[in-house]
Each structure stands twice: as structure tokens, then as C-alpha cells.
Amino acid sequence: MSLNLSQPKRKNAISLTPLIDVVFILLLFFMLTSSFVPWRIIDTPLSVATDKPKDIAEQENLILTLKSNNNQVWFEGGAIYFADQARFEQLVMDHNNGVFMIKAEVGVTLQTLLHLADQLKLHGAKSVSIANAFAMTAESK
Amino acid sequence: MKIGQKFTTKNVNNDDNMVPLINVVFLMLVFFMVAGQIRKADPIPVVPPYSVNEARAATDPNVEIVVGVDSTLYIDDKFIEINRVQAYLEQRFLEDSNQENFWVQIKADGGIPLEKLRPIFNQVRLAGLTKVSLATQLERGNP
């Protein structure tokens, strides 16, 4: 009796279909869970209320006021448009030893506030403070 | 004829046609595994404000406050009333082992008016926490 021990060699021992099933599931998982937009953060350090207010008179504080979301900021009684690059450059050059404090009136959005802070930073302002815009004011309490 | 025979035997195994497909799928799989970051989804959809700021967080925030455009408030994926924020933050701060580096991230929608954010900042301040950061996303194109 002769045993046929040598099995015929099959080209594909494993079918590829289950492999693709698994790989597709993995692919779907990674496509749905991955995000490509990394978050950035802006530190807004909050000052704890103390009895003695710090003496910050040494530095000049410039108060810029946002009144609405129409891309303009009020400074010393006049409006400056965000698009007015020359005016911003002049403003930053004249007062760069001070702190640019941004205040906001009712209705101003977070995006407008950051837009203004960006404009000041892009023109080389050393110190921009947005914390004042988040401080509780008398009328918002 | 021999040539015809050759072609007919080759088409018997259908799996051979899948090899290029698998190649592509594997490439996509590797791309998403390497380039993507797996992150928890926000409890409500939030479009953070655009900014030119490029600073990234060194550590994960201890507490994440998500504020939707209709000023609904979620802390650590749970809905919370504004007047309970201070107590929650104080409790989280006391439970934390590394209080030195305890920081709060506020993820607010860009379209939210600032007066809606003020009470939240006030609550954080009342809880005695000073390390607070606002989440932004990098502005693309012309700033």
C-alpha cells in the first residue's frame, strides 16, 4: 500500500478575506477616532484677590475697549479697525513698554477678543492682557 | 491551445486580485495609526476660537470645562450647573495628588459672548485656582 504522504502544495494556505475584514475594521477604528487638529492653549492666569492691590503703576496700562463684533476697537476715544495695519503698528511702537489691556462690553465674542490679541501680538506687542475681559465687572454681577 | 489554458488557470484563485487592495488598505491603516491621535470626543460640539498662538499644553488638563455656544456647561463630560462649579473644582483639587501642577482647561466656543464666560472664570477664581488656560486652534491661511 502506498501512502501519499506528500500533500499537494497549495499556493494560498490562508484565505485573505478574513484578514481584510480585520484590517478594514482596524482602519475604520483609526479613521474615526483619530484627530489631526492639535489644540493650542492660551494661559489666562487668574489673580487671587488680595487685600493690597499690587502696585502696577510703574508700567503704563493701555486700555483697549471692544464694544461690538464689528472688527474695531476703541482706544482713547477713537476707533481703530483691525484691518488698519499701519495704525496698529504705530500704536504698538508708541506704547510697547506698557501692557495692552483688553476690555470687552456686552455681546463681544471670544473670537473677537482673540482676534484683537492676535493683531497686537503680530505687530510685536510684548505684553497683552486678556484676563481683564474675563473679570467680573460691576454691571455683570 | 496552451496559452488559453494558462490564462484560465490563473483566474481560478480570486484572492490574488485582492493583493493590491490589501496593500492600499494597509498603507491607510499605517497612516492613520501613526499620524492620528486618539482622543475622547467632546460631550457637545465646540468650535474653539482661531488664534495665531502656538503654545501647546505640556500635560493633560486636570479638569476640562467645555462651554457650548448656547453656554451649556460640561465638566469632565458631565453636565453641571454654574453654581456648582466652585464646589466641584475644590473637591477635585483636594483629591489631586499633584496640586502644584493642577490646571484647568476651558474649552469654549469661539462664538460665545464674553459675559457668559465671566461667571465661569469667577467660579474658578472663587475655588482658589489660578492656572487656567483657554483652548484655541491654530489659524490657517491669512490671519
Least CB-CB distance to A46: which of B29, B33, B125? B125
CB contact under 8 A, A33 and B124: no
Residue A83 DSSP one-character state: T
pLDDT at B37 over 70: yes
pLDDT at A141 over 50: no
pLDDT at A52 over 80: no
Least CB-CB distance to B110: which of A23, A34, A109? A109
| A82 in any annotated domain | yes
Domain that holds residue B30: 2-35
CATH of the domain at B111: 3.30.420.270
| A53 in any annotated domain | no
| A106 in any annotated domain | yes
**Rounded average pLDDT over A66-88:** 82
For the stretch A19-50, pLDDT in tens is: 889 999 999 998 888 877 778 888 887 765 55
Instruction: Tell me: do B90 and B119 sit in the same domain.
Output: yes
| A65 in any annotated domain | yes
CATH of the domain at A87: 3.30.420.270
| B7 in any annotated domain | yes
| B44 in any annotated domain | no
Instruction: Tell me: do B24 and B88 sit in the same domain.
Output: no
B141 touches chain A (CB under 8 A): no
Q: What whole-number distance in Å separates Cα of residue B24 and Cα of residue B109?
A: 38
Average predicted confidence (pLDDT) for chain A: 77
What total number of domains does chain B contain?
A: 2
Residues of B within 8 A of A44 (CB-CB) are 121, 132-134
Give A131 to chain B, closest Cα distance, Å: 9
pLDDT at B14 over 70: no
Taking the complete model, does pTM exceed 0.95, yes or no?
Answer: no
* pLDDT for res A91: 82
For the stretch B17-33, pLDDT in tens is: 788 888 999 999 999 88
Instruction: Tell me: do B19 and B57 sit in the same domain.
Output: no
For the stretch B63-95, pLDDT in tens is: 889 998 888 899 988 898 888 888 998 898 888
In one-letter notation, the amino acid at residue A44 is T
CB contact under 8 A, A37 and B114: no
Q: What part of A 80-119 touches B (C-beta under 8 Å)?
A: 104, 106-111, 113-115, 117-118
> Out of A40-54, B39-53, B100-114, which region has the weakest mean confidence (pLDDT)?
A40-54
For residues A30-44, one letter each, b for 16 or more C-beta atoms within 10 angstroms of the residue's C-beta and e for the rest, the string is beeebeeeebbbbeb
Distances A65 to A32, A72, A78, A117, B69 between C-alpha atoms, Å: 43, 9, 10, 12, 23
Domain that holds residue A119: 61-140
| B40 in any annotated domain | no
What total number of domains does chain A contain?
A: 1
Percentage of chain A exceeding pLDDT 70: 78
Least CB-CB distance to B128: which of A36, A48, A136? A48
CB contact under 8 A, B139 and A118: yes
A132 three-class SS = helix
